[in-house]
């Protein structure tokens, strides 16, 4: 990752992570008291169920995989100044499509063909579904948040209908996928035996680093970033703003679709209704927490994965919803601290947009044309 603004933004983010983690631990302690449990015992159990054992680590990676893909998806769109809230629907539709295609493949098809084909279908469906919001935004000015929410709802309705009417499934699940389309588990690592971790997690990490690099180096990636930072200047200088916006949205949807690797292809072996749901929204928080740097993004995904897995581990003594409370808390804290940054930056009367180190990201609540108009330069 190059560029001074990115590096400095990263520093700020690590402090934010530290703050968020300590606040989260504090609230966890309070929750434990509320359920009549000793916090240290709950914490010990949570730790044992996550990072304390190889099995736990594997489970954290499994939980983190869709989160990382969806976080990465959100990040891609956000760099171009777009708020892809529709990852949820994109991932769900892509999962169903991938599972259906993979289940139709003959058992004899080797993995080198089956896997890429399945992934291609998933990315096409995810990207295509996102493209609807992208085109509406770029050509007709429909806000992508509104479109994204509507498309999520549409997917909610579409999925059971397609499963029941289209595929004739009698339960709310697809047929089993062909052996060739399955992603290898990380079973061969002795400690991880039994966990749901598959090659999907390393693949997600690889994608994260690759995509960050691409955003920084490629022509399309750089132009997307500029559009996110200054759409008016880009338009006036002849950068294809509408086209790049649509591309960014499609790419975002395609990346979200890759979340299918962790759930369908790496674990279940089929798609069932609700599989992987929630990742699209949690991915937004992951991206906001870790947008500055690929390492931060992976860490944020692991943090949320840890919380989810810890919830299962402590479920016997503290309901796992306690961890959902913590997750919500993290989202609030992240949003709050991001707002704090913006408020400081937007303090009235800054003579010059001063700091070369001010994080240069599109604002969360103004992903549209609302470019900040900095004060005069006297």
Partner 1 sequence: MDGLLLELVKVSRSFGATRALHELDLRLSPGRITAIVGENGAGKSTALRLCAGELAPDAGEVRVGGRALHPARPEEAIRRGVGLVHQHFMLVDGFTALENLVLGAEPMRGLRIDFAAARREACALAERTGLEVDFERRAGELTVGERQRLEILKVLYRRARAVLLDEPSAVLAPSEVGELYAALRRLADDGATVAVVTHRLDEVVRFCDEALVMRRGELAARTPLGAERPPELVAELTRAIMGREPPAPLGRPAAPDPGPEPVLELGGVELRDAAGRRLLDGISLALSAGEIVGVAGVDGNGQRELVRVCAGLERATAGTVRVGGRDPFAGVHPGPAAVRAARRAGLVVVHEDRQREELVLAASLGDNALLGDLGAGHDAERVARRLARFAVEPATPRLPAQALSGGNQQKLVLGRARDRQVRALVVSQPTRGVDVGTARRIQTALAEAAAAGAAVLCVSADLSELAALCHRIVVVRRGRIVCELPPDASEDAFGRAMLGVEAA
Beta bridge partners of 198: 185
Question: Is residue 343 at the binding interface for partner 1, with CB under 8 A as the rule?
Answer: no
Q: Which residues of 169-207 are buried (b: 16+ CB within 10 A; e: fewer)?
A: beeebbbebbebbbbebbeeeeebeebbbbbbbebbbeb
CB of 13 to partner 1, least distance (A): 16
By CB atoms closer than 10 A (0-12, 13-18, 19+), residue 40 is exposed
Which CA distances in Å does 140 have to 107, 143, 144, 147, 246? 45, 9, 11, 11, 12
CB of 358 to partner 1, least distance (A): 7
**The one among 45, 225, 245, 268 contacting partner 1 by CB under 8 A:** 225
Among residues 176 and 357, whose Cβ is nearest to partner 1? 357
Among residues 2 and 171, whose Cβ is nearest to partner 1? 2
Residue 60's nearest CA partner among 211, 204, 216, 253 is: 204
Q: Find the length of the chain.
A: 378
**The one among 88, 144, 223, 327 contacting partner 1 by CB under 8 A:** 223
CB 359 within 8 A of CB 3: no
- Tokens standing for residue 187: 């079973």
Among residues 21 and 351, whose Cβ is nearest to partner 1? 351
**The one among 226, 267, 271, 304 contacting partner 1 by CB under 8 A:** 226
Number of helices and strands in the chain (H, E): 14, 0
- Tokens standing for residue 32: 């434990």
Among residues 185 and 293, whose Cβ is nearest to partner 1? 293
Among residues 242 and 278, whose Cβ is nearest to partner 1? 242
DSSP single-letter state for residue 180? G
Among residues 106 and 349, whose Cβ is nearest to partner 1? 349
Number of residues that bind partner 1 (CB under 8 A): 43
- Name residues contacting partner 1, limited to 228-287 (CB under 8 A): 229-230, 232-243
Residue 4: in which H helix or E strand, if any? helix 4-34
Q: Which residue has the tokens 């992603």?
A: 183
**The one among 135, 360, 364, 368 contacting partner 1 by CB under 8 A:** 360
Among residues 180 and 367, whose Cβ is nearest to partner 1? 367
Backbone dihedral angles phi then psi of residue 242, each to the nearest 5 degrees: -60, -45
Q: Which stretch binds partner 1 (CB under 8 A): 38-46, 54-62, 93-101, 356-364?
A: 356-364
CB of 81 to partner 1, least distance (A): 11
The interaxial angle of helices 321-345 and 279-290, nearest 10 deg, is 40
Please state the separation of Cα 313 from the chain's center in Å: 23
Question: Is residue 376 at the binding interface for partner 1, with CB under 8 A as the rule?
Answer: yes
Question: Is residue 373 at the binding interface for partner 1, with CB under 8 A as the rule?
Answer: yes
Among residues 172 and 364, whose Cβ is nearest to partner 1? 364
**The one among 202, 352, 365, 366 contacting partner 1 by CB under 8 A:** 352
**The one among 143, 173, 342, 350 contacting partner 1 by CB under 8 A:** 350
Rounded Cα gap, residues 284 and 291, in angstroms = 10
Among residues 105 and 371, whose Cβ is nearest to partner 1? 371
Q: Which residue has the tokens 């180096």?
A: 217
CB of 362 to partner 1, least distance (A): 9
- Tokens standing for residue 293: 């740097």
Residues 6+ apart with CB under 8 A from 130: 84, 86, 90, 249, 250, 252, 253, 254, 256
**The one among 22, 30, 171, 347 contacting partner 1 by CB under 8 A:** 347
Question: Is residue 377 at the binding interface for partner 1, with CB under 8 A as the rule?
Answer: yes
**The one among 332, 340, 353, 366 contacting partner 1 by CB under 8 A:** 353
Question: Is residue 354 at the binding interface for partner 1, with CB under 8 A as the rule?
Answer: yes
CB of 135 to partner 1, least distance (A): 15
The interaxial angle of helices 294-313 and 54-79, nearest 10 deg, is 130
List of residues contacting partner 1 (CB under 8 A): 3-5, 219, 222-223, 225-226, 229-230, 232-243, 347-358, 360-361, 371, 373-378
């Amino acid at each position: 990752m190059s560029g001074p603004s990115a590096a400095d933004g990263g520093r700020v983010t690590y402090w934010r992570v530290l703050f968020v983690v300590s606040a989260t631990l504090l609230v966890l302690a309070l929750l434990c008291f509320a359920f009549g449990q000793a916090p240290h015992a709950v914490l010990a159990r949570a730790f044992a169920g996550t990072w304390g054992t190889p099995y736990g680590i594997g489970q954290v990676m499994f939980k983190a995989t869709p989160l990382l893909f969806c976080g990465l998806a959100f990040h891609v769109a956000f760099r171009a100044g777009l708020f892809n809230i529709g990852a949820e629907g994109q991932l769900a539709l892509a999962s169903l499509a991938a599972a259906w295609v993979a289940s139709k493949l003959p058992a004899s098809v080797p993995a080198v063909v089956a896997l890429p084909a399945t992934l291609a279908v998933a990315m096409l469906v995810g990207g295509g579904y996102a493209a609807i919001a992208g085109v509406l935004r770029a050509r007709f000015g429909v806000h992508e948040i509104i479109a994204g929410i509507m498309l999520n709802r549409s997917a909610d309705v579409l999925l059971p209908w397609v499963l029941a009417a289209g595929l004739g499934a009698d339960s709310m699940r697809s047929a089993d996928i062909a052996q060739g389309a399955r992603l290898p588990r990380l079973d061969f690592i002795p400690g991880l035996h039994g966990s749901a971790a598959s090659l999907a997690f390393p693949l997600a990490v690889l994608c994260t680093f690759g995509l960050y690099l691409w955003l920084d180096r490629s022509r399309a990636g750089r132009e997307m970033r500029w559009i996110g930072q200054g759409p008016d200047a880009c338009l006036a200088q002849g950068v294809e703003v509408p086209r790049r916006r649509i591309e960014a949205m499609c790419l975002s949807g395609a990346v979200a679709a890759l979340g299918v690797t962790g759930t369908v292809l790496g674990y279940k072996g089929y798609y069932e209704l609700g599989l992987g749901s929630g990742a699209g929204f949690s991915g937004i928080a992951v991206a906001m927490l870790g947008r500055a740097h690929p390492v931060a993004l992976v860490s944020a995904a692991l943090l949320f994965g840890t919380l989810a897995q810890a919830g299962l581990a402590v479920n016997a003594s503290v309901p796992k919803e306690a961890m959902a409370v913590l997750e919500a808390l993290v989202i609030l804290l992240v949003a709050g601290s991001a707002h704090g940054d913006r408020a400081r930056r937007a303090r009235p009367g800054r003579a010059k947009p001063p700091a070369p180190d001010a994080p240069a990201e599109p604002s969360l609540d103004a992903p549209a044309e609302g470019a900040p108009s900095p004060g005069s330069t006297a």
